Structure 1
Amino acid sequence: MSAHFQVHSFAGNPLRTHNSKPDDPSSALQTLKNLILEDTHAPNLKVLPFRKGRPLASSSVSAAGSTPVWHLGWISLVDCKDFLMKSGIILGEDSLVYLGSDGISYWAIDVSAAGDDMFGNERSFCFVELRTLMVATDWAHSQTMTDLAIAGHARALLEWHSISRFCGCCGERMLPIDAGRRKQCVNEMCKKKIYPRVDPVVIMLVIDKANDRALLSRQSRFVPRMWSCLAGFIEPGESLEEAVRRETWEETGIEVGEVIYHSSQPWPVGPSSMPCQLMVGFFAYAKSFEIHVDKEELEDAQWHSREDVKKALTFAEYEKAQRTAAVKVDQMCKGVEKGQNFSSDFNVESGELAPMFIPGPFAIAHHLISSWVNQAVPDDTESPSQGSSSTSNL
């Protein structure tokens, strides 16, 4: 069955929506500068270290036999300074990026240049891949969903800083300003300013309404038996609806008419060269039905009946995969990491492998597909052949 929650994974970050005065980056930066110069404890300031895109995390078990729950590994500014000094790194205000405030000021820092893989001598903390934390997150656990959104925002900002070190106009260094929320060229003759940018990606469930089936595809990088929606990047001078139609035609030879908006999701777990992706989800009604797969883009694409897709949703044991990932995080934090193939957790009730499964509820593709399976899809407002603009179903 599909998991349901009010926001997608990586969305709903409360630090981005808080409107109190301490959320002002300028005042937060000035406070940070003062604290760095001093060596005093700052209870209203927390730092989240990252190593090579992985946030510091810990794990805990609330009761015997229960699934472990991961937490972000927030540390104090003093602990951060001590750790970096032991590694021969001087902490400055340009080392940290501001995440926001809820009465406590939250910052993130990239400590990839530091030495030991564990943070200090604490064996209860470790740096964990964000994708692993994504799978390990209990979708009904609001605090963990919040932590995932904060970690996603922080990773996107830090990765953007990492790939934006030099000015695209003159080639000089770019330095962080405005508490790390933008960068400026050091060249006095240039002084170009840049801001984090989002790479929009359309993701669409193509529907054959007359035959009650949906078009799903596989890429070569997918784990065995996983099928998902088509997706692609926006090209310059192109609308979202045009991108949906073009990508569908280029990858499968299917012509699309009506395009209907579903929802959007931040996606900070893509490649580091594109750290700030936004997945924009649509339903798209097919006007043609013969598939011609572009083998350079896809491994395969097929029409699947509603009943077959519904079985895939039923058989895929998403909760088991979540528990397995949560235990893996717990083992990593205890220094007992073990390899785990998550695709092996998607089995039918008989214990045999399911013929197919779709991405878990952490992905917008899951919600597009499950909405269609459960018939929570608006009818196309016009004949698909007319190909009008997008209509929201929210």
Structure 2
Amino acid sequence: MLLFFSSSTTSLFLSLSKITPPLSLLRFSTMSAINLQTHAFAGNPIKPKTPKSNDAFSPNFALQTLKIHLLSNTHEPISPAFRVLPFRKGRPLAGSSGSGSNWHLGWLSLGDCKGLLADSCVKLEENSLVFLGSKSEEDSVFWAIDVSEDDKLVDELGKKYFSFVELRTLMVATDWCDPNAMADLAVAGHARALLEWHGLSRFCGHCGSTTIPMEAGRRVQCSNESCKKRIYPRVDPVVIMLVIDRENDRALLSRQSRYVPRMWSCLAGFTEPGESLEEAVRRETWEETGIEVGEVVYHSSQPWPVGPSSMPCQLMVGFFAYAKSLEINVDKDELEDAQWHSREDVKKALSFAEYEKAQKTASAKVEQICKGVKQSQNLSSDFNTESGELAPMFIPGPFAIAHHLISTWVFQGAP
């Protein structure tokens, strides 16, 4: 079994334990955990900074250079090198070596784009070409493009060992011990969030006019000369909290109707205007379960680009929340159930769930998809006990911040 929390989180909690009474009992064991440098979808190695406008790696300069080379007839290597990642309906192009190894992103070279995109400049802008970032040490600039409406292009890209794969499937299939695979997942998540945001930002929310992509897709601007509103991507903060009783012996876990059978997780909810994150934790817990929360302590945060397409840029902000009351009154409109679970029961759930097996099974599914074999997604069957019997409950895998909140609490005081 593989359980995870970061060394930075450990340091944070050890420092907080000096000033926060409920955390004074916490001790952390690195023997039962692998040091995860970042959460899934975090640690993007090519996320753009803000270079000067005349920098070869700036968004506008890179876009103009890309257009020039796409319209030219030369086949000579260019600098910087351009790499483009196509998406179809929120699914990135992914590839497999066909040898059972992990998936990889299906980057296209500029030469590939020239052959596949005849009416390049117009088509690129219509399909929301977005600047992802660069690696100056590799002399490369990275882009993403939505090709959902181009069936001919999709057919050409659907070659052997390449396919457009759901990001959630890739998330489960990612080898969390492989920094390169985690980096690919972070890049795909960032790209999907930007492209989905462009799909939601085609019209100005102030005057209703159409918008125009600017700064290589990093923002849009209203086309109405009397408005010209600048619109940037915004992050929707979501609080996710593990509610713990005052004795620190039980945790409150919940189920939603959309969950696969037997899965339990933390409470979560969106913040409201004029509300702090801590206030959101207390309000959401009270609204969904009737539990009153007192102390709220920060754990870590995680980008979450696999939520609904209507909210593509989510940030999960994780907390421990200490309950002042114990009686549960479940809001059935929000949750299917919520129950207090002992530390021992949750520890068994973590021990029985074969997360590494699930990752390898999902990776094999991606390989089959890339070979052209259609697969249905059934994650619940991937979490069997070692004896082959179904575990009574299981917790989300290491790709989710909920896993790290729960496992950190479960292994408090481990020898």
Is the TM value for this pair above 0.5?
A: yes
Q: Which amino acid aligns with 2:341?
A: H
> What is the deviation of 1:199?
0.4
Of 30-39 and 166-175, more deviation after overlay is shown by 30-39
Aligned to 1:31: 65
Are 1:36 and 1:91, in contact at CA under 8 Å, matched by a contact in 2? no
* Correspondence list, 1:223-238, <5 A: 223-238=260-275
SS at match of 1:309: helix
Provide the alpha-carbon RMSD of the alignment: 2.1
1:141-290 alignment runs, 5 A limit = 141-210=178-247, 212-290=249-327
Identity %: 72
Counterparts of 1:102-121 in structure 2, within 5 Å, are 102=135, 103-116=139-152, 117-120=154-157
Q: Which whole-Å deviations, capped at 9, do the CAs of 1:326-359 have from their partners, x for residues lacking one?
A: 1111111111223242201111121110000010
Match of 2:332 among 283, 288, 295: 295
Residue aligned with 1:320, SS = helix
| Alignment correspondent of 2:26 | none
Aligned length: 373
What runs of 5+ residues in structure 2 fail to find an aligned partner?
Answer: 5-33
**What is aligned with 1:80?**
113
- Please state how far the C-alpha of 1:119 moved relative to its aligned partner: 3.7
Contact 1:153 1:268 in 2 (8 A): yes
Match of 1:99 in 2: 132
Instruction: Output the CA distance in 1 between the equivalents of 2:339 and 2:217.
Output: 45
Change (3 A) 1:212 1:22: farther
TM-score by length of 2: 0.86
Q: 1:290 to 1:248 in 2, by over 3 A?
A: same
**CA pair 25-89 structure 1, distance change in 2 beyond 3 A:** closer
Please give the alpha-carbon distance, in whole angstroms, between the structure 2 residues aligned to 1:340 and 1:302.
Answer: 27
Q: Please, which moves more after superposition, 121-130 or 359-368?
A: 121-130
- Work out whether 1:90 is the aligned partner of 2:126: no
Q: 1:192 to 1:106 in 2, by over 3 A?
A: same
SS in 2 for 1:206: strand
Deviation at 1:221, TM superposition (A): 0.2
The code of the aligned residue for 1:37 comes to L
TM-score by length of 1: 0.90
Of 4, 7, 14, the match for 2:45: 14
Q: Secondary structure at the match of 2:190?
A: helix
**Is the 8 Å Cα contact of residues 94 and 176 (structure 1) preserved in structure 2?**
no
**SS of aligned partner of 1:158:** helix
C-alpha deviation, 1:18, in angstroms: 6.4
Deviation sequence 1:22-53 (CA, Å, 0-9, x none): 44222222212222322444551100000000
